[in-house]
Amino acid sequence: MSNSSPAREGAKRDIAPIVFCDFDGTVTPLDVTDQILTQLAHPSWREIEREWMLGLIGSRECLERQIALVDAPPEELHAVIDSITIDPHFSAFCRFTRRRRMPLYIVSDGFDYVIHRVLKRAGVAGAFRNGSRLFASALRVEGHRLLPSFPHSAEPCEHGCATCKAAIIRHHSEGRQPIVFVGDGMSDRFAVEVADLAFAKRRLLAHCRESGIACHPFETFKDVQGTLEKLLAPTPARRCRQPVAALS
């Protein structure tokens, strides 16, 4: 990718990458926050969504204003969250990253409370916990109200992100490990610019194509794992012909 100098690619050649992964629409087929808003918030949340889509506000302001429109008891919130499924290949992908000693970090504008509950219910919490981390917005449930906070954007970034994926990735790029990013949406557009290797679907794929950003299209984590297995194969019999960073 554009930010990778030949020297940097060479230095990173044989080192296991860090995998950064979006959550909503990537690990889950549906956007969980959108589901919560659709079912539990005043319909005016869609007007705020339009402002964000037009680039008039950042995702942090967007989420703060939208989540304030939710008025529902915790049982209803839990029922919406518990209706969310995940990519059936994500659990195997978590085990794959652990086997290959690749740190797996979820980076999300969505809420920690929600993500933990989805992963736990899908039986992936254990697979994800080992060596993995979650960078997401925080959520406190108080009666019928949801109170958001943004621990990973203490300093508002230039994009107005709720969780600045680009800043988190940049922070981790200071090491020698190549950065892999997996995502699906417009909240990932700054992240792909600082990754060495990007996997994209839906809106993010369209954005990468329009902007000339190199990426691998994918549908499920089986595709991501298959591509990484080809690029990273470390055994002497199957030497990695093209190092991961060189293909990014």
**Residue window 100-139: x/- pattern of binding to Zn ion, with contact defined by CB under 5 A:** ----------------------------------------
Task: Give yes or no for residue 159 binding Zn ion (CB under 5 A).
Answer: yes
How far apart (Å, rounded) are the C-alpha atoms in residues 233 and 221?
17
Structure tokens at 218: 């994918």
Q: Minimum distance between the CB of residue 194 and Zn ion, rounded to whole angstroms?
A: 10
Name the one range near Zn ion by CB under 5 A: 29-37, 123-131, 137-145, 156-164.
156-164
How far apart (Å, rounded) are the C-alpha atoms in residues 156 and 85?
32
For 11, 71, 78, 126, the CA distances from 177, given in Å and listed in that order, are 9, 44, 38, 24
Q: How many helices (H) and strands (E) would you count in the chain?
A: 12, 7
Q: Which of 161, 169, 204, 228 binds Zn ion (CB under 5 A)?
A: 161
> What 3-state class would DSSP assign to 47?
helix
Task: Give yes or no for residue 157 binding Zn ion (CB under 5 A).
Answer: yes
Name the one range near Zn ion by CB under 5 A: 2-10, 28-36, 152-160, 232-240.
152-160
Q: Minimum distance between the CB of residue 166 and Zn ion, rounded to whole angstroms?
A: 5
Whose structure tokens read 């990013």? 181
* Backbone dihedral region for residue 131 (phi beyond 0: left; psi -120 to 50: alpha; all else: beta): left
Nearer of residues 9 and 188 to Mg ion, judged by Cβ = 188
Could you say which of Zn ion, Mg ion, none residue 24 binds, taking C-beta under 5 to 8 angstroms by partner kind?
Answer: Mg ion
Could you say which of Mg ion, Zn ion, none residue 159 binds, taking C-beta under 5 to 8 angstroms by partner kind?
Answer: Zn ion
CB atoms within 10 A of CB 177: 18
Nearer of residues 97 and 173 to Zn ion, judged by Cβ = 173
How far apart (Å, rounded) are the C-alpha atoms in residues 215 and 191?
12
Q: Minimum distance between the CB of residue 175 and Zn ion, rounded to whole angstroms?
A: 21
Name the one range near Zn ion by CB under 5 A: 31-39, 114-122, 149-157, 211-219.
149-157
Given the rule CB under 5 A, which residues bind Zn ion? 157, 159, 161, 164
